[in-house]
Amino acid sequence: MPRPNKLSGPYWEGAKEHELRVVSCSACGHKFLPAADRCPKCLSKDLEWVKVSGRGKVWSWVVFHQRYFAAFEADIPYNVAYVELDEGPRLMTNLVDCAPSDIRCDMAVEVVFDDVTAEISLPKFKPAEHPSRKPS
Ligand code: ZN
């Protein structure tokens, strides 16, 4: 279970409200995750959290067929994917509503929120119903 801290707190607060947020640099416009106290591109500390569309595409993924982590044994086979958001940042997540054999690079996806506790909602992604762009 994630443990929000001072840096990641706004990300998890957004997720709880079913809003996907990334850090945006006010100096150069770069948007990124995970949160940091400086822009990784220009080192500015002038940063703000912004809501993003929740749309993106699968950048890479794996499917776990063996038990490496006891907590996920019941979920086998499960996927772990990198999704590249339309706004640029990539985040590690799980794809839902999609058979492992149907996952493809560049497939359009959109965020859904899995309310796992009263405090924590996990951003996950499902195949997009209305893709914002075609796979390249
Ligand atoms: Zn910057």
- Measure Cα distances from 50 to 10, 47, 54, 125, 130 in Å: 10, 10, 12, 19, 23
Rounded Cα–Cα distance for residues 101 and 95 (Å): 12
- pLDDT tens string, the chain, 136 residues long: the values are 899 999 999 999 999 999 999 999 999 999 999 999 999 999 999 999 999 999 999 999 999 999 988 988 999 999 999 999 999 999 999 999 999 999 999 999 999 999 999 999 999 999 998 665 555 5
Q: What are phi and psi of 12, to 5 degrees?
A: -75, -30
pLDDT of residue 133: 55
Nearest CA among 125, 1, 123, 3 for reference residue 56? 125
- For residue 129, the model assigns a pLDDT of 82
Question: Rounded to 5 degrees, what are φ and ψ at 16?
Answer: -60, -30
Neighbour-count burial of 68, counting CB atoms closer than 10 A to its CB (0-12 exposed, 13-18 middle, 19+ buried): exposed
pLDDT value of position 135: 53
The pair of three-digit structure tokens given for residue 74, joined into one six-digit string = 């019941």
Q: Ligand 1 centre and the CA of 34: distance in Å? A: 14
Residues that place a CB less than 5 A from ion ligand 1: 25, 27-28, 30, 39, 41-42, 44
41 alpha carbon to ligand 1 midpoint, in Å? 5
Burial of 120 by CB count in 10 Å (0-12 exposed, 13-18 middle, 19+ buried)? middle
